[in-house]
Amino acid sequence: MAAIENVPVPVHRAPAAQPTSASTSTALGELRAEGVTKRFGGVTAVNKVSLTLQPGEIHGLIGTNGSGKTTMLNLLSGYYPVDEGSISLGGQTLTQASVQRRPHVGIARTFQKPRLLGTLSVLDNAMLGGWKDTGAGFLSTAFALGRARREDRMLRERASELLHGIGLGHLMHRKANLLDHAEQRFLEIARGLTMQPRFILMDEPAGGLTEHEIDQLAQIITTLRDCRVGVLIVEHHTDFVFRISHRVTTLNLGQMLKEGTPEEVRNDPEVIRVYLGA
């Protein structure tokens, strides 16, 4: 993959979180889950979990297999409704907001297995992330009238800039299904960023990447942090999570085991007993 340049993402006003310092900020604009519970039949996948993601913060979500990490991400991104508890952004409730609504308030996500439209080009896939910013109706789109043309040009430029920033600029016109695994993962991130999110929730972004590609991923994520985007990383690759996160939450059997700085979590006897030492 080509070198990663500075990823151009929108600048938000809130200050970036400081690495390793415990955040006591109640800054407006935080994404907050409070006491959320999700059940699937008799299985309680997530049980009264609270998690706060600050703008400009990298927050790792780790835990054993089946501990509820992906479910938590799905609750924050609106893929599942919560059974109990609440989700809010900047103090405004999102608990009932649909999955289609969440991008409008600034929540993007990536998937464990990249979900791309394989027969479309890399550029077209990246542009799909910006659909929420288009308002041209069906007729003006069909006839490529002024507004539709302008919106298309704007999105194309934004997506193209992001792809260059993320190191995929040279592949813009290739079909997405011809990309290798890391390229597909990075394209998903670019697609999420095209919507200019305030928060991006990533499900196992380091899965299947080489050490070199993980370094590239870390570079992308720290650039997002510098641009005040909050990043939630669900990940099994704990070294990577401890290396780049400001805060880490550990789940076990759907419940919160420990939340704190990477140092606090890494040295917690219960986390070592249940997860890290396993």
Ligand X SMILES: Nc1ncnc2c1ncn2[C@@H]1O[C@H](COP(=O)(O)OP(=O)(O)OP(=O)(O)O)[C@@H](O)[C@H]1O
Least distance in angstroms from the C-beta of 178 to ligand X: 27
Q: Is 36 helix (H, G, I), strand (E, B) or coil?
A: strand
Least distance in angstroms from the C-beta of 39 to ligand X: 9
DSSP label at residue 189? H
CA distance 201 to 93: 18
- Of residues 59 and 69, the one with the C-beta less far from ligand X: 69
CB proximity list for 69: less than 8 A, separation 6 or greater: 61, 62, 63, 234, 251
- Of residues 70 and 184, the one with the C-beta less far from ligand X: 70
- Of residues 166 and 233, the one with the C-beta less far from ligand X: 233
Least distance in angstroms from the C-beta of 70 to ligand X: 3
List of residues contacting ligand X (CB under 6 A): 40, 43, 45, 63, 65-71
C-beta of residue 137 within 8 angstroms of C-beta of residue 130: no
- Looking at the DSSP assignment, which residues form a beta bridge with residue 43? 40
CA distance 34 to 241: 23
Q: Which two tokens stand for residue 142?
A: 């069909």
Least distance in angstroms from the C-beta of 45 to ligand X: 3
Least distance in angstroms from the C-beta of 113 to ligand X: 11
- Of residues 71 and 261, the one with the C-beta less far from ligand X: 71
- Of residues 159 and 233, the one with the C-beta less far from ligand X: 233
CB proximity list for 210: less than 8 A, separation 6 or greater: 182
- Of residues 39 and 132, the one with the C-beta less far from ligand X: 39
Least distance in angstroms from the C-beta of 190 to ligand X: 23
CB proximity list for 44: less than 8 A, separation 6 or greater: 37, 38, 254
| C-alpha distance from residue 104 to each of 138, 233, 263 (Å) | 20, 21, 35
Q: Is 231 helix (H, G, I), strand (E, B) or coil?
A: strand
